Structure 1
Amino acid sequence: MLVTPPARTVVDLARHGTLQDAVTAADYCLRHSMCTRDELAAEVDLVPARARGRALATTAVSLADGLSMSPAESFSRVQMFRLLVPRPRLQVSFTDEDGHVGDVDFWWEGTVGEFDGRMKYRIPAGASHYEAGRVLWAEKKCEDRLRRQTEVARWVWTDLVRPQQLLAILAEKGVRPERRSTWFDRGDQSGVA
């Protein structure tokens, strides 16, 4: 079976699909070393300047980040970009006097952002009530340790599909939109889509 290389597939997804799908695919490919950022950029360069979807593909490649750990984190970043929320740092590690607290999904100075998917609270199959309680208690203790250091904003999938809800959650914790996007260097034309 003939298939296209991962970088080409990502660019095709962007040109003929959605920014969300393309960024999710690009993040996955980068995270699993299926291609490099340079290979993604080279594929975009092969698309003629005025071809359909080139600008979207350029934006998708510019937004791609191999530190993104899930489709929900990728979609969160796409929504943040669209909402003019300042670009967060990804997978920032937090520690306290007791040691490693955890790596957070998103970080802005003074605020952590966390997508709350069900996997975070997944109870192993066949677990006892005691084991289930331990999973939930461990997550609560981690949250308590984070909250002693910073604000914590949490959202779920339904907040992502209602962007103004995501914006309100972030604003409540001090992360507010900018007048214009600062996700890309002003000299970099790749952020136009």
Structure 2
Amino acid sequence: MTTPSPLIALDPGLLRLGADLRRAGIEPARAPDDWHHVRHGVWMPSAHWVGLTPDQQHAALVHAADLVRRPDRPRVVAAWSAAALWGMPRIEDWPDCVGVLSHSRRASRSGGTCPVVGPGTEPVAMQGLEVTPPARTVVDLARTGSLVSAVAAADHALRRGLCTAAELTAAVEDLPPRVAGRRLAALVRDLADPGSMSAGESLSRVQMYLLGLPRPRLQVAHTDDQGLIGYTDFGWSGVVGEFDGRVKYRIPEGADAEEAGRVLWAEKKREDRLRRQVRVARWVWSVALDRPALGRLLAGVGIRPERRSTWFDLGGPTI
């Protein structure tokens, strides 16, 4: 699943060919404390590797694969591997192979790469790599992976300005009519929302859709006679939902007991003010991943499946 902000930035320049290290008198396989084996023939300093998040580690794998690529065999990084390079989140674990765009249905996994069959696209140059554009990356994720990861990536791309809703729509429309996964890509386009502030919120919202629950409003402001209480992740009439029990007043790093107490007391007062107005549901990753559990939790505050979905009543039809 997705991870918090990285501890350090990925530096592809730290990747080293094993042959070059051995020529310099270094046998990386005999120094696991100093060198991490990224893929066959490529190593990275262990101190750098352990500070990377899983998405960064997959991005390092992408760069490592390019390091041993034959110059006469260009490739376009696609789908989950392009997502890692764009910094898009993923709900499941990252694959152990590099996704590359392929035009042949007969292509097979080879040399640590996995073909992503699809029409051609104008790639974007990134750190010496050719990568599918953000909107096309989201579309390929929808076509080849899970709905939850594709929506999480789409939400992130829209929120961070990596692509626009119009570009996402165009990327779906550029797919040939009978290409595999076109309908799922259109569904991701329709579900995508920049108001989703984290992968956990995106996951939760997709689960709500699959459960047939009413579509929630996102980032809902709440006020009382004292002013702004805060913003909640999800909102329905008389009910709010918050993923991960997220507190709006973070305890600063290094805070002493007195300061931490003030922060927690402020959060309790916020919670009390909110509960005077609405029913509140909070959940964590394990519940968001368990669709029936999330359904039971929300049913406990009155959010139950609709007889007919109204999620797209105000939007265009899914193609």
TM-score by length of 1: 0.93
- Matched to 2:142, the amino acid is A
Evaluate the alpha carbon distance shift between residue 122 and residue 103 of structure 1 in structure 2; reply closer, same or farther with a 3 A threshold.
Answer: closer
1:47 deviates by: 1.0
- Counterpart residue number, 2:71: none
Moved more, 61-70 or 160-169: 160-169
Q: Which runs of 4+ in 1 moved over 6 A?
A: none
**Are 1:43 and 2:155 counterparts?**
no
- Counterpart residue number, 1:178: 306
Matches within 5 A, 1:140-159: 140-159=268-287
| CA RMSD between the two structures | 1.8
Evaluate the alpha carbon distance shift between residue 44 and residue 145 of structure 1 in structure 2; reply closer, same or farther with a 3 A threshold.
Answer: same
- Counterpart residue number, 2:193: 65
* CA offsets 1:6-39 (integer angstroms, 9 cap, x no match): 1111111111111111111111111111111111
Which is bigger in relative contact order (C-alpha 8 A, separation at least 6)? 1
> CA–CA distance in 2 between the matches of 1:8 and 1:187?
21
Q: SS at 2:221's partner residue?
A: strand
1:188 deviates by: 3.9
- Counterpart residue number, 1:33: 161
| Ranges in structure 1 where 5+ consecutive residues have no aligned partner | none
Evaluate the alpha carbon distance shift between residue 92 and residue 127 of structure 1 in structure 2; reply closer, same or farther with a 3 A threshold.
Answer: same
- Counterpart residue number, 2:260: 132
- Counterpart residue number, 1:12: 140
> CA–CA distance in 2 between the matches of 1:187 and 1:140?
38
* CA offsets 1:72-112 (integer angstroms, 9 cap, x no match): 10000000000001000101111111111001100101101
- Counterpart residue number, 2:221: 93
Evaluate the alpha carbon distance shift between residue 161 and residue 152 of structure 1 in structure 2; reply closer, same or farther with a 3 A threshold.
Answer: same
Q: SS at 2:220's partner residue?
A: strand
- Counterpart residue number, 1:105: 233
> CA–CA distance in 2 between the matches of 1:127 and 1:175?
38
Higher helix share: 1
- Matched to 1:81, the amino acid is Y
Q: SS at 2:232's partner residue?
A: strand
- Matched to 1:139, the amino acid is E
Instruction: Tell me the matched-pair count.
Output: 191
TM-score by length of 2: 0.57
- Matched to 1:145, the amino acid is R
> CA–CA distance in 2 between the matches of 1:185 and 1:33?
26
> CA–CA distance in 1 between the matches of 2:221 and 2:257?
30
> CA–CA distance in 2 between the matches of 1:99 and 1:187?
34
> CA–CA distance in 2 between the matches of 1:187 and 1:119?
33
1:117 deviates by: 5.0
| Ranges in structure 2 where 5+ consecutive residues have no aligned partner | 1-128
